[in-house]
Chain A
Amino acid sequence: MSLDIGVEHVGDTATISVKGDVTIQTSSLLRKELKPLFASEDTCIQVKLDSVDFMDSSGIAVLVEGLQWSKATGGKFILSGLTPTVRDVFELAKLDTIFDIKD
């Protein structure tokens, strides 16, 4: 179980690409990459999840921190490329309408 994370900055948008399973074991790595972005000049953070097949509630909890950032600053926090299994978890958690989710 490993998690590969890449961050790219274009203009005022930070795009974070995640590859692997996001679980209690790996979610701290995602948090470690996301947290500095919350304190940066970026006004939009996009999290690409097209290479994530498994995410549990610890991963969702990290992404909820993005919601908190968005609510506090007015910035955009976008999730994109959800695989069917990850999208299903968001639907089960009733979070699919709360997050800004793009294809």
Chain B
Amino acid sequence: MTALNTETPKIQLHLSGCKEGLQALQALANQACEGECLSDVHRNRIVLAMDELFANIHKHGYNNQGGDIECSAARIGSDDECLLEITLRDFAPVIEDVKQCKGVNPDTLKENPVAGGLGMHLIYAITESFEHTPLEDGNQWRLVFNLKEEDKKYES
């Protein structure tokens, strides 16, 4: 893991492996939220979404063998909007249709408890927007979080 540039709003990391990847992304999420008066629950959601995306890339993209992931975080929009954009770029096989990664529908779990597949559901539930772009040699994932505590999405 190498922090390339921590002086600017953008932070870039090169990750490989599960253990260091999770720790680095948790640190990145916490660093990106620095200065924000976020509750533990709100901050945990941001870390969780990154954890889930990383786990999916590690497990399905790199088949648990590790690989490079580039990551950047930046505040976007006006001060009033208070948005955090996190971009992950992997070099795993290209996913043409991200809908194939939709995962399990939690509404069916009561009748049919199936273990696994909740990660994508959690990411969609947490983020303001979640976008996938297929690249020539990998995938780009863009997550946008609303850092405003009072936002209805974060009331629970």
Contacts and interface: CB of A to CB of B under 8 A. Distances in A.
Contacts of A51: none
Given A57-B119, A64-B109, A64-B115, A24 B22 contact: yes
B99 interface: no
B48 A89 contact: yes
A91 B156 contact: yes
A99 to B, nearest CB: 10
Question: Chain A: interface residue count, which band?
Answer: 20 to 34
Contacts, number: 84
Nearest to A85: B44
B55 A24 contact: yes
A24 B119 CA distance: 11
B23 interface: yes
3 A-B pairs with the lowest CB-CB distances in the bound complex, closest first: A57-B118, A67-B113, A61-B115
Interface of B: 18-19, 22-23, 40-41, 44-45, 47-48, 51-52, 55, 58-59, 106-107, 109-110, 113-119, 121-122, 125-126, 156
